[in-house]
Amino acid sequence: MAVEPFLGTRAQRAFMITKAIVVIAMVASTFGITLPCYLALFILAELFELALAYDALRLRNVIQLLGIVGFHCALIVFSALQVHETKTAIVPCYLSQCGDNPNFLWDKVMPFLVVAPCIVGASWILIIYWIKALYEEFGQPSSEQQYLSTRATLTVFTIFAFLLLLASFIVGVKCFHDFDKGLHDSKTQELHAVVFFSSDAQERDSAYSTGGAALQPQISIE
């Protein structure tokens, strides 16, 4: 069967459009509200997913598409938990005492906390549908290609996790004392090194995986 060109099928185009719409929706819901940092995490995650989806379609990587499903599910769980966590953090009194206060912070931020899991959850259903169509289009990868794709995908997710950890270290620097600041700086440099070497490893894995995919038809013919 002939290999379809990149973004040459309806399923590929619809999958990328779905991811782009989710990013636009998350960005649009951020401006002018009181929780820009919180929703910025979802924007960063969705941009990461968009880049991951582009790479998966370009390399016809089924394993990476399945990783996107798991990552999106984790976003739903995280956003749902944050509703309760934020309420516990910002509500200093009982609801019965603050219910009549028009300036009650929880009443202002609650709609924006709820919209995040709703958008992510609705898009998750569409993503599963399009990934199923893409799986039928790409087919089952060989054992060697499946191993290489899994390793490359895990490396990409590791880089993203370390980037988030690095961002949390940078944001919290003003709260540290002198000793803690020195420890923080050393750990930040270590995280920079880990991200650099992880990126290099991911690039090598991607090149090796692509080379294995190019050789696969020749091996099957022989």
Q: How many CB atoms lie within 10 A of CB 174?
A: 6
CA dist., res. 1 & res. 103, Å (int): 63
Q: For residue 26, which of 60, 59, 49, 57 has the smallest C-alpha distance? A: 49
- How many whole angstroms separate alpha carbon 207 and alpha carbon 152? 10
- pTM value is 0.61
pLDDT tens for the chain, 222 residues: list them: 455 666 667 777 777 777 667 666 665 655 545 455 666 677 777 778 888 888 788 878 888 888 888 888 888 888 888 788 777 777 665 454 555 555 567 777 777 778 778 878 888 888 888 888 888 887 776 666 666 667 666 777 776 766 666 666 665 555 555 545 555 556 566 666 665 665 566 566 555 555 544 434 333 333
